[in-house]
């Protein structure tokens, strides 16, 4: 079973391969990262790791048993007990429930490690796969219609339970 891991520098080669192999697949539903992202990947990753160290963001990768990165699950704009969830899954990993399972695992981290009580998310109205994951994991539409890469989107929110007492 793939494991959700906090992003670390040693994920760099597998993460770059994941982004390159799935670039066209991702661009069909989310804005493309652009050539600069790939040209300066090492610097970009170092910036994300440094940002993560401040607590402003929490970046995660879904890693297969062989070390291959199958997905990214990021919590950004962390403030006041809330964060924004963004995720992407490799094309070859879709349709197996991996994104749904990873989001559920992320909920546990949110409550036990990051002290989050609310998550926000958005997906393009045409991105039925991401919208299905959000709905299956308890996100509800907010009525907001953000513009995502020039496309109409749907905003979501999910309240998280407080950490059960007696657990760390």
pLDDT in tens, 128-149: 999 999 999 999 999 999 998 8
* C-alpha closest to that of 32 among 147, 149, 142, 126: 149
* Domain boundary assignment for the chain: 3-159
Q: Is the pLDDT of residue 29 over 50?
A: yes
- Alpha-carbon dihedral sign for residues 47, 154, 30, 148: negative
Cβ-contact 71, 106 below 8 angstroms: no
Q: How far is CA 27 from CA 32, 126, 147, 160, in A?
A: 5, 13, 15, 30
The pLDDT > 70 percentage for the chain reads: 96
Average pLDDT over residues 28-56: 93
Computed over every residue of the chain, the mean pLDDT equals: 94
For domain 3-159, the question of CATH label 3.50.50.60 is answered with no
Q: Say whether pLDDT at 167 is over 50.
A: no
| Helix segments in the chain, DSSP class H | 12-21, 23-27, 35-39, 41-53, 98-112, 128-136
**Contact of 59 with 74, CB cutoff 8 Å:** yes
- pLDDT at residue 166 greater than cutoff 70: no
In this prediction, residue 116 has a pLDDT band, given cuts at 50, 70 and 90, of very high
Tell me what pLDDT residue 164 has: 55
Say yes or no to pLDDT of 90 above 60: yes
Distance CA(47)–CA(57), nearest Å, equals 11
Least confident range of 4-8, 57-61, 159-163:
159-163
pLDDT at 92: 96
Q: Which residues of 35-59 are buried (b: 16+ CB within 10 A; e: fewer)?
A: eeeeeebeebbeebbeebeeeebbb
User: Each residue of 39-51: pLDDT tens digit?
Assistant: 999 999 999 999 9
Q: How many Å apart are CA 94 and CA 7, to the nearest integer?
A: 21
The confidence score (pLDDT) of residue 163 equals: 60
Q: For 76, how many CA atoms within 13 A lie in the half-sphere containing its CB? A: 11
Q: Are 116 and 78 in contact (CB under 8 A)?
A: yes
On whether the CB atoms of residues 112 and 96 are closer than 8 A, the answer is no
Looking at residues 71-92, what average pLDDT do you find? 97
pTM above 0.85, yes or no: yes
Instruction: Please enumerate, as own/partner, the contacts of 34-43 that have beta carbons within 8 Å and a separation of 24 or more.
Output: 41/12, 41/16, 42/12
Q: Express as a percent the part of the chain with pLDDT over 90.
A: 88
């Amino acid at each position: 079973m793939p494991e959700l891991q906090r992003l670390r520098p040693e994920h760099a080669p597998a993460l770059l391969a994941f982004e390159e192999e799935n670039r066209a697949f991702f661009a069909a539903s989310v804005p493309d990262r652009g050539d600069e992202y790939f040209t300066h990947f090492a610097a970009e990753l170092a910036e994300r790791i440094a940002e993560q160290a401040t607590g402003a963001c929490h970046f995660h990768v879904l890693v297969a048993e062989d070390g291959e990165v199958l997905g990214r699950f990021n919590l950004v704009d962390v403030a006041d007990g809330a964060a924004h969830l963004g995720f992407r899954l490799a094309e070859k990993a879709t349709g197996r429930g991996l994104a749904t399972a990873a989001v559920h695992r992320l909920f546990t981290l949110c409550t036990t490690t990051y002290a989050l009580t609310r998550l926000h998310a958005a997906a393009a109205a045409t991105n039925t796969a991401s919208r299905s994951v959000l709905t299956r994991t308890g996100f509800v539409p907010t009525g907001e219609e953000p513009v995502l890469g020039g496309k109409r989107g749907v905003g979501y929110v999910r309240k998280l339970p407080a950490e059960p007492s007696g657990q760390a």
